Structure 1
């Protein structure tokens, strides 16, 4: 079990780095400073539920990009496993390898049998604005798009 509880709405994106599928270090706090960023955690690359979820994001990627959303998929897989997964399914977004669970712990994502739970955090300008602690891989992307639309509607109303 984790000693951390899941990040709350309004929390700052943690200052933690991850390695992407190509071996580049990514500072999560930095990438979350501008715009809308989705950090979605999944148990294991190239397993049925995770593949459906990732391909759903891939198939709706244009809509996400058009809404200004940057997507980061995170699991406790190795960098090599993330690269194979990204290449095999032509995933257009960044996958972060977190074999030691540092990112998982910073976000307070529950671990089961050495894998991250399927959880999701949406950040806007460095702050968590939405989270789902029990993600369904089949409607995850629709849920995220709906939430992004709500964010945009709310910011338009506040102008």
Structure 2
């Protein structure tokens, strides 16, 4: 079983699309945020999910929230993915799946890395967890959870 509502978000630092180190501590205590884990850049489901978050990014910003996407892809792959689809939010490279393990995310369909979304309040507490291979639901549920806060 993965992390649950009420748990504290695990602390971590990962490289972003530019290769700079990003610490989740930069968000805790400042604003609510979404962390979504996805299998791979440039695959149909993952591209749809990223573009859904892109298309509603202003709605997240208007609520005062940040969006963070995490996969095992390299920073260079993230940079290309971000540029290709004009993704305005943070993408982090979890090459060794160390953060995925901290969140206790299991693989989907035995092979694919799991697709899981967390909404975290400004204090660092998880207020929503959604696990589904269905990429089209993640952004909607995250935005709804934040708008109910």
**Fold agreement, TM-score > 0.5:** yes
Q: Which residue does 1:120 correspond to in 2?
A: 117
Compare CA radii of gyration and give the structure with the larger one.
Answer: 1
Q: Is the 8 A contact 1:14 1:29 kept in 2?
A: no
TM-score computed with the length of structure 2 as normaliser: 0.91
Residue 135 of structure 1 deviates from its aligned partner by 5.2
Tell me, yes or no, if structure 1 residue 31 matches structure 2 residue 27: yes
Q: Does the alignment pair 1:76 with 2:72?
A: yes
Aligned residues: 147
* Aligned equivalents of 1:6, 1:98: Cα separation in 2: 17
1:78 positional shift: 1.0
Q: CA RMSD in A?
A: 1.6
State the 4+ residue runs in structure 1 displaced beyond 4 angstroms. Answer: 112-115
> Unpaired segments of 5 or more residues in structure 2?
none
Q: Deviations over 1:55-96 (max 9, x none)?
A: 111111111110111000000111111111111100000100
Q: Judge conservation of contact 1:55–1:89 (CA < 8 Å) in 2.
A: yes
TM-score (norm: length of structure 1): 0.86
Cross-structure match for 1:154: none
In the alignment, is the contact (CA less than 8 A) between 2:118 and 2:142 conserved in 1?
no
| Matching of residues 85-124 of structure 1 within 5 Å | 85-111=81-107, 115-124=112-121
In 2: Cα distance, 1:67 partner to 1:61 partner: 10
